[in-house]
Amino acid sequence: MDHTLLIMAAGMGSRYGGNKQIEGMGPHNEILLEYSIYDALEAGFNKVVFIIKHDFEDRIHEIIGDKLSRRVKVEYVFQDFDALPDWYAIPQGRIKPFGTVHAVLCAKDVIHEPFAVINADDYYGRGPYEKIITHLDTLKPEQEACMVCYRLKNTVSEYGSVTRGVCETSADRKLCKLTETYKIQRFADGTIRDTNADPAGVILDPECLVSMNLFGFTPWFFKIAEKRFQAFLKCLPSDEIKAEYVLPTLIDHMMYSEGLTVDVLTTDASWFGVTYQADKPYVQQQLLAMHQSGFYPEQLF
């Protein structure tokens, strides 16, 4: 069976201060995405789909796409306003895409097999790819999905707030609720707090499970996502220029209205990424150490 890795790489990187998706992080200027792809291929994925912006296309080909195409099938789709329904009138001043649901839907015509979704600017570790590809083969064609969840304490930045999907699960590791939670921050006393509504913050359990947008779906997902996304667009005010429809919100809707069940696969792996410029030295140190230990070869591709 084919297994596709769908990579969301069209983010604008506003907090980072640049195009973090294609900035070198490894000892030979590897971008963080190269490590995700390498780990996914080692786990058994055999097709890669990039969701990008048009002005990134040449650079992605140059950095990784052309090398990768010699090993697996590669597709490119574009997250732009052309992917919106013809009936939707784009508000004047709208620049941003419409979120991660919009991103995934851009790939609906090129994916016809079980697939995993990742962010381009996160390092997930190899184990989570091995877990999710194994579980993809157990999913029914409809109404089932899976996700890899991390411990909150392993997913925060030391340099500012992050957004995470906070998960509630049943005793048999089924997802019960997924709440997109903004402005999660580690404080000087070591606590991790939700500061979205109160600058003082609400203390969160550091062991709680959170989503890092590492999901596993079957193609059935596209049909429901498209219906829900169009309903989202229809409800937007005509002058709305910032609202987004994100995967955690969609999944929560699908569980309650579409009968979706989501198996939660847990990992104690530590995430790292480049949410802020100050994150970069730590990421570089970690990648260099993994090359030096032999976990990664001298050249990935």
Q: What is the mean pLDDT of residues 168-178?
A: 95
> Band of the pLDDT at 15, cuts 50, 70, 90?
very low
Q: Which uninterrupted H or E stretch holds 220?
A: helix 220-235
Q: What is the mean pLDDT of residues 23-30?
A: 90
> Band of the pLDDT at 21, cuts 50, 70, 90?
low
Contact 257, 251 (CB under 8 A): no
pLDDT in tens, 97-129: 899 999 999 999 999 999 999 998 889 999 999
- Residues found in the chain: 301
Is pLDDT of 169 > 80?
A: yes
- Domain 4-292 -> CATH class: alpha beta
Query: Distance between CA atoms of 175 and 257, rounded to whole angstroms?
Result: 14
pLDDT in tens, 195-207: 998 888 999 999 9
Burial 13-25 (b: 16+ CB within 10 A, else e): bebbeebbbbbeb
* Biggest alpha carbon–alpha carbon distance for the chain: 55
Name the CA radius of gyration of the chain, rounded.
Answer: 19
